[in-house]
């Protein structure tokens, strides 16, 4: 993972912009008045199961600096009522959970899982089989036999899921297995096992925690494309083979200047929901070319509005998670040169115009069509 210096991150984060946004960032709570109910409240009113924010364990956040912001951050994250759900951004990944073959470590993942339990937040668990942030030992060996790698996958999924058994509303079982053109991504798993690795992961997961919904999760699934078709095909194949898959996660790492329309979002979500699986926006953020200004923040607001409104309007879309909520802790500036300010809270804890776009989308609900069908929110 490419990282940038703290200095450049600070430079980026100092953009904020109470002035550009007209928001006074009053420094209290989430910067909202007492009568303000919070995004999760509005989401539930709109028929969603949750509106959530992913978060990192403090140890992982340290690379961004900003320790002095933690109390305020924690208050919004856990106490404000803005979020009813969370996902650990890093701690449950293979790199942390099985750094050495057969040696499991749940320290990082447990920090967020425990905070979620203490603060009564729903927990989405993330991610079991992924080519990235994989422990180096998995890729270091070039001559895995199929049997050996099958055992590695089964052992990993089994140990991690058993550790978190009963705690996860959902598990991202396989993450990012496809290329943009719908072909399978080259990875150690695909190269050794072929398509079978996905089946194996889901089959294994299905036996371990009956309460956890099993998701396939990927990016660029927010508009119909060869990639969405490939994921639809995968869902159908698993269903035909009677292998449990309960959901498709649309990461929704969007770009303000190139955001999908409301109709594109709705078409993509429907394409999955009509297969009988639930859909969630699992890692929503809308990055922009920094510095942020009135123009790109307005595009970002539209980007958030379109995504959230589509989820509210399509039956089967059950919730939205933003990938952290506070700009200084976003992954974006670390990975995308020149881009940032992708979340809903600026460095000074004032909110982006996009925050109001999300509230609007949630408040509008289904545009006169009544609440979402009960069967999807039970």
Looking at the Cβ atoms of 187 and 251, the one nearer to ligand XIL is: 251
Q: How many angstroms separate the CA atoms of 174 and 169, rounded?
A: 16
3-state secondary structure 159-210: HHHHHCCCCCCEEEEEECCECCCCCECCCHHHHHHCCHHHHHHHHHHHCCCC
Looking at the Cβ atoms of 306 and 321, the one nearer to ligand XIL is: 321
Cis peptide before 94 (omega within 30 of 0): no
Minimum CB–partner distance for residue 109 and ligand XIL (Å): 13
DSSP string spanning 274-320?
Answer: TTT-EEEEEEEEEEEESSP-HHHHHHHHHHHHHHHHHHHHSTTEEEE
Looking at the Cβ atoms of 21 and 89, the one nearer to ligand XIL is: 89
Q: How many angstroms separate the CA atoms of 174 and 37, rounded?
A: 35
Minimum CB–partner distance for residue 196 and ligand XIL (Å): 22
- 89: contact with ligand XIL by CB under 6 A: yes
Q: How many angstroms separate the CA atoms of 281 and 17, rounded?
A: 27
Select from 90, 290, 296, 309 the one that contacts ligand XIL (CB under 6 A).
90
Instruction: List the x/- string, 270-289, binding to ligand XIL by CB under 6 A.
Output: -------------x------
- 175: contact with ligand XIL by CB under 6 A: yes
Minimum CB–partner distance for residue 54 and ligand XIL (Å): 7
The DSSP secondary-structure symbol of 373 reads P
- Cβ density class 223-242: b for 16+ within 10 Å, e for less: bbbebbebbbebbeebeeee
Minimum CB–partner distance for residue 168 and ligand XIL (Å): 15
Residue number of the CB closest to ligand XIL reads 331
Looking at the Cβ atoms of 90 and 313, the one nearer to ligand XIL is: 90
Q: How many angstroms separate the CA atoms of 365 and 378, rounded?
A: 17
Residues involved in catalysis? 176, 283
Select from 96, 331, 345, 346 the one that contacts ligand XIL (CB under 6 A).
331
Contact between 272 and 233 under an 8 Å Cβ cutoff? The reply is: no
The DSSP secondary-structure symbol of 14 reads T
- First vs last Cα of the chain: how many Å apart? 39
Interactions with ligand XIL, residue window 222-251 (CB under 6 A): 251
- Burial bucket for residue 86 (CB in 10 Å: 0-12, 13-18, 19+): buried
Residues touching ligand XIL, count (CB under 6 A): 8
Minimum CB–partner distance for residue 90 and ligand XIL (Å): 5
Instruction: List the x/- string, 123-152, binding to ligand XIL by CB under 6 A.
Output: ----x-------------------------
Looking at the Cβ atoms of 4 and 366, the one nearer to ligand XIL is: 4
- 1: contact with ligand XIL by CB under 6 A: yes
Looking at the Cβ atoms of 220 and 309, the one nearer to ligand XIL is: 220
Looking at the Cβ atoms of 284 and 312, the one nearer to ligand XIL is: 284
Minimum CB–partner distance for residue 175 and ligand XIL (Å): 5
- 87: contact with ligand XIL by CB under 6 A: no
Minimum CB–partner distance for residue 113 and ligand XIL (Å): 16
Give, for 322, the enclosing helix (H) or strand (E): strand 317-322
Interactions with ligand XIL, residue window 29-68 (CB under 6 A): none
- 187: contact with ligand XIL by CB under 6 A: no
Helix/strand/coil percentages in the chain, nearest 5: 45, 15, 40
Q: How many other C-beta atoms are found inside a 10 Å radius of the C-beta of residue 137?
A: 15
Chain residues binding ligand XIL by CB under 6 A are 1, 89-90, 127, 175, 251, 283, 331
């Amino acid at each position: 993972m490419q990282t940038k210096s703290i200095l450049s991150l600070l430079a980026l984060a100092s953009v904020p912009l109470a002035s550009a946004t007209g928001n006074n960032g009053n420094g209290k709570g989430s910067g909202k008045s007492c009568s303000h109910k919070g995004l999760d409240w509005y989401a539930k009113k709109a028929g969603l199961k949750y509106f959530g924010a992913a978060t990192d364990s403090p140890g992982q956040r340290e690379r961004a600096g900003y320790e002095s912001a933690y109390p305020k951050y924690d208050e919004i994250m856990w106490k404000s009522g803005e979020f009813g759900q969370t996902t650990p951004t890093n701690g449950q990944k293979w790199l942390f959970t099985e750094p050495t073959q057969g040696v499991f470590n749940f320290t990082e993942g447990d920090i967020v899982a425990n905070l979620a339990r203490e603060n009564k937040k729903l927990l989405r668990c993330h991610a079991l089989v992924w080519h990235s942030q994989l422990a180096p030992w998995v890729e270091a060996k070039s001559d895995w036999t199929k049997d050996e790698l099958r055992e590695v996958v089964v052992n990993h999924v089994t140990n991690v899921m058993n550790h978190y058994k009963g705690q996860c509303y959902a598990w991202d079982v396989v993450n990012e297995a496809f290329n943009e053109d719908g072909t399978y991504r080259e990875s150690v798993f695909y190269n050794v096992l072929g398509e079978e690795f996905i089946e194996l992961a889901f089959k294994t997961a299905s036996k371990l925690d009956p309460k956890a919904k099993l998701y396939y999760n990927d990016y660029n699934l927010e508009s119909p494309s060869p990639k969405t078709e490939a994921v639809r095909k995968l869902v159908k194949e698993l269903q035909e083979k009677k292998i449990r898959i309960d959901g498709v996660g649309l990461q929704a790492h969007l770009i303000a200047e190139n955001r999908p329309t409301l109709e594109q979002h709705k078409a993509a979500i429907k394409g999955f929901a009509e297969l009988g699986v639930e859909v969630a926006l699992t890692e929503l953020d809308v990055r922009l070319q920094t510095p942020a200004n009135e123009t790109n923040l307005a595009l970002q607001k539209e980007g958030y509005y379109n995504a959230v409104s589509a989820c509210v309007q399509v039956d089967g879309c059950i919730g939205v998670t933003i990938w952290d909520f506070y700009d200084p802790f976003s992954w974006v500036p670390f990975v995308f040169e020149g881009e940032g300010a992708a979340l809903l809270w600026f460095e000074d804890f004032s909110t982006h115009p996009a925050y109001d776009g999300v509230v609007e989308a949630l408040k509008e609900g289904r545009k006169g069509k009544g609440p979402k069908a009960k069967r999807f929110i039970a």
